[in-house]
């Protein structure tokens, strides 16, 4: 008799996550992150314009936020998994190899927020309003990025026999090493074990929260960073229970994965901000500074307005102004009298 597990095949892992075009390595992990960033910028900018902002603003801010976010994500990963790089048998140089995977979302959001703050200051726009516009787009980018974990055969859960279990294959690299953890390897076709696809759980959870955020934003028109707070809280709620299902190596606190503690703390902080922040939504005028740049109000006050009526008295005005006949006659008469007086005066001097 055929069981349900036999009928519903497990989810197979990709045979490899890296392809080479000559000496250039094309890594699925990096490609999905890039796709996610592009989607976040394009959709986030459309949402920003719909709220009254200027087109292209999100791209300008992303120039600051993305590099900061990548650095922050890597720093968080290394800090919470430091024995892998600085412990016994570890290689500190591997901490720089971002292409091998390992970006912590908490560090990415925290340091990426610093970059966004710098960009917003330069543009003269409120950071909370921008956060509300890009919140659903960022979470969708996270869901897309999780597909990179699928190709790397990483971030999976405990072993299982559920019908949607993920098959993890043995992989062999160019030097003959065989292991399921070889990111640069190619599948041997041998299944090492079947696990919960926790990366898929998180991706699906993220998509659900994205839909919820869009609905809440349209239904209640919230602003002042409150939608961004909902994004953070929603993501943390899912990450908390998904993290408890994972079996890969992680730093622990009292036997609990550190990311679970982080999720709980950030979740509470996000809810506090949501209820404490200003209600309503920003005026669209606040999102569009003059010429897209901050304007110095003091400079504008010091700059006098031109009066059209005063232009005729300007010292630089043309000298050839129309003169009336009476004025011309009077000027000529005055000039003649002056010349007569000058001649008489010279005669008197001669007589002396």
User: Which of the pair, 67 or 305, is modelled with greater confidence?
Assistant: 67
pLDDT band at 84 (very low <50, low <70, confident <90, very high): confident
> What's the token pair of residue 157?
């859960």
Q: Locate the domains of the chain by residue range.
A: 4-298
Tell me how far apart the alpha carbons of residues 197 and 168 are, in angstroms, rounded to a whole number.
10
Mean pLDDT of the region 227-241: 96
pLDDT band at 246 (very low <50, low <70, confident <90, very high): confident
Tell me how far apart the alpha carbons of residues 345 and 352 are, in angstroms, rounded to a whole number.
11
> What's the token pair of residue 282?
């920003």
Residue 284 vs residues 36, 49, 318: alpha-carbon distances, Å: 27, 10, 47
pLDDT band at 251 (very low <50, low <70, confident <90, very high): confident
According to DSSP, the residues that pair with 246 across neighbouring strands are: 157
**pTM of the entire predicted model:** 0.77
pLDDT per position as a tens digit, 174-196: 889 999 988 889 999 999 999 99
CB 112 within 8 A of CB 72: yes
Provide the 8-state DSSP code for 172.
Answer: E
Residue 285 pLDDT exceeds 70: yes
Residue 12 pLDDT exceeds 70: yes
Q: What pLDDT is stored for residue 253 in this prediction?
A: 76
303: phi then psi, degrees, rounded to nearest 5: -85, 110
CA atoms within 13 A on the CB side of 351: 6
């Amino acid at each position: 008799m055929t069981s349900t597990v036999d009928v519903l095949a497990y989810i197979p892992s990709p045979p490899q996550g890296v392809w080479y075009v000559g000496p250039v390595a094309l890594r699925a992990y990096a490609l999905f992150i890039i796709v996610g960033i592009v989607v976040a910028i394009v959709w986030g900018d459309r949402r920003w314009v719909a709220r009254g902002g200027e087109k292209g603003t999100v791209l300008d801010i992303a120039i600051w936020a993305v590099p900061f976010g990548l650095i922050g994500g890597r720093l968080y990963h290394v800090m919470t998994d430091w024995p892998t790089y600085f412990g016994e048998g570890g290689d500190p140089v591997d901490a720089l190899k971002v292409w091998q995977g390992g970006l912590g979302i908490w560090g990415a959001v925290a340091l990426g927020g610093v970059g966004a703050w710098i960009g917003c200051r330069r543009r003269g726009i409120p950071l909370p309003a921008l956060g509300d516009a890009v919140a659903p787009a960022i979470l969708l980018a996270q869901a897309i990025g999780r597909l990179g974990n699928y190709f790397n055969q990483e971030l999976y859960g405990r072993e299982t026999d559920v019908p949607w279990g993920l098959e993890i294959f043995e992989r062999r690299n160019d030097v003959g090493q065989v292991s399921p953890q070889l990111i640069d390897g190619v599948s041997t076709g041998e299944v090492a074990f079947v696990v919960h696809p926790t990366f898929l759980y998180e991706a699906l959870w993220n998509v659900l929260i994205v839909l919820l955020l869009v609905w809440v934003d349209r239904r209640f028109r919230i602003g002042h960073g409150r939608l961004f707070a909902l994004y953070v809280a929603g993501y943390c709620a899912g990450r908390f229970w998904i993290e408890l299902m994972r079996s890969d190596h992680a730093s622990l606190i009292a036997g609990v994965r550190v990311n679970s503690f982080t999720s709980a703390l950030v979740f509470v902080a996000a809810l506090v901000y949501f209820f404490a922040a200003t209600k309503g939504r920003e005026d669209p005028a606040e999102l569009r500074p003059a010429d897209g740049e901050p304007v110095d109000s003091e400079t504008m006050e010091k700059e006098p307005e031109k009066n059209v009526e005063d232009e005729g008295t300007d010292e630089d005005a043309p000298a050839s102004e129309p003169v009336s006949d009476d004025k011309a006659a009077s000027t000529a008469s005055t000039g003649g009298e002056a010349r007569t007086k000058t001649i008489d005066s010279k005669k008197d001097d001669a007589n002396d």
